[in-house]
Structure 1
């Protein structure tokens, strides 16, 4: 039977369908879309009480990336969470994600860091992945960082999984755990749910998704595992949690990625919803479904810290 959604989640589903999905479909200039994302975050997202933001740059060798630590208290932390945001590789900012990052850090007991990676079309592949790798290397070199975990949603989910492949290729120590919310993992865009769930997905118009993929690839082959992690070798990867909704266009990406990891011998946990928006976790503090999913993700991270 279909899941019974809370009144709050039904409201945010309607908000996404009437406001956000048309905006993504029809507002084409990024100079307008990007500030509209900020305005939307001000309206839709609840700022946690006691939120503290600390800007810093993570630097390794001659490369650096801007980041922001998002905290809800001065409580002592154990380990560092690096968060890579979604937005079809083209939009997304701290104002949109600070509440989610802070909640994840607070509930998992980690120092939570938002990574402000470069975006397409100005900086296509491999810029975002390079920035993510720089942030990981810098955190790994910091003796105060403790064990590292990676979290990302949508395009950021792609990046955290590609980052695991990059870490493996470089022979570096793996993160303690990885969480991906509704990740896009196959940039060939051939999975059936991309069309089968086009109408049931409350948030994502496929015209927007295709536009982001084309901008990010910029002519690069989608068969490369570093852009399509579904094609990568994850033998030896750390435990992974994937949360996705069965009615979203990226349903098959989440489902197939979990099976691909399982086939590689990875410890995989799948958690699904039915009828929620793409990356419903952004509604943490606004809907029971989002709050419970974020709580479960944080518990997963905490359970896998050494």
Structure 2
């Protein structure tokens, strides 16, 4: 049973019509056009600079932020890839998770503000994310490297891990996927039944956002939809999903396919919780963040 606070937040999201922005392909195209005219900021909040050393570099066209513990050597490294249906920038809940990782896990976080769709398509985006992951792993030093992504960012993270495995065989210490979007086709037969209870996501808009991200690639190309790629040889994976999330089908499919390929999977499915609940200010979100912190700390110990 979800907590009272979680139920209240879910009800508020439903009442606010949060998923209207994904209600149709036209709504997504309108949003993309507005963003092209007036791009949203991806800057971290000033409050992060009070507890972390924050800097920015560029990898090609990508601004890449570094946030490290202030006055202390980081215990481990994290590549965090944000969600937003591939069409939205970093927002405050993403930065709040980064703050938690820096302050509670003593992690050095690398946070790319990747180019959004339709300018940023999978064939361009996945190779850059792979290079970032490879460089972070190769930077060596004490501690491990944890790859974390939420929603669309989790799909990009998994695709990068698969590509790096194919390229060099290297892997991070662990992969953490929060409400991952792993198949952009939105054709799973169970999704239509899940959609009415989802307070945040809607199938038509997700399908259009996925189409924009795919560009010239097929929707089932593993670069676009890593659920269709091989899981063999990947690092251990931790997954968080909620049952009021139309994308929970992707998490369940990952569980079966990854274990069939011999990959260790730690699976958390929270009854009654919505999309990306580990980022939300609810007790279940706090518990999930505590688990993520413990996993990042464990990576530091090898």
* Fold match (TM-score > 0.5): yes
Query: Could you say what secondary structure the match of 1:266 adopts?
Result: coil
Shift of 1:296: 1.0
Normalising by structure 1, what TM-score? 0.85
1:73 shift after superposition: 4.5
Structure 1 residue 71 displacement after superposition: 4.8
Cα contact 1:58–1:138 (8 A) shared by 2:
no
Query: Which position in structure 2 is the counterpart of 1:257?
Result: 254
SS at match of 1:275: strand
User: 65-74 vs 241-250, which deviates more?
Assistant: 65-74
Map of 2:11 onto structure 1: 14
Say whether the 8 Å CA contact 1:241–1:270 is kept in structure 2. Answer: yes
CA deviation map 1:189-212 (0-9, x unaligned): 221232111110110111221111
Structure 2 residue aligned with 1:29: 31
How big is the shift at 1:180? 0.2
Q: Aligned with 1:87: secondary structure?
A: coil
- 1:70–1:37 Cα change, 3 Å: same
Q: TM-score under structure 2 normalisation?
A: 0.86
- Of 189, 192, 217 in structure 2, the residue corresponding to residue 192 of structure 1 is 189
In the TM superposition, structure 1's runs of 4+ consecutive aligned residues that sit over 4 Å from their partners are: 33-39, 143-146
* Residues 76 and 11 of structure 1, relative CA distance in 2, 3 Å threshold: farther
- Distance (Å, rounded) in 1 between the aligned partners of 2:8 and 2:40: 19
In 2, Cα distance between equivalents of 1:116 and 1:85: 8
Say whether residues 1:246 and 2:248 are aligned partners.
no
Change in CA separation of 1:107 and 1:258 when aligned onto 2, cut-off 3 Å = farther
- Tell me the distance in 2 between the aligned counterparts of 1:276 and 1:216: 27
8 Å CA contact 2:146–2:173 kept in 1: the answer is: yes
- Whether 1:132 and 2:129 are equivalent positions in the alignment is yes
Alignment deviations for residues 221-268 of structure 1 (CA, whole Å, 9 cap, x no partner):
123222222222221211100000122101110011011111111111
CA distance in 2 between partners of 1:110 and 1:121 (Å): 32
Instruction: Point out where structure 1 has 5 or more consecutive residues left out of the alignment.
Output: none
Q: Does 1:54 align with 2:54?
A: yes
Q: Specify the alignment match of 1:4 in structure 2.
A: 2
CA deviations 1:66-118 (Å, max 9, x no partner) are 21123564333122100011111111225451111221343333212211111
Q: Is the 8 A contact 1:5 1:275 kept in 2?
A: no
- CA separation of 1:38/1:67 partners in 2, compared to 1, >3 Å: closer, same or farther? closer
Unaligned 5+ segments in structure 2 are none
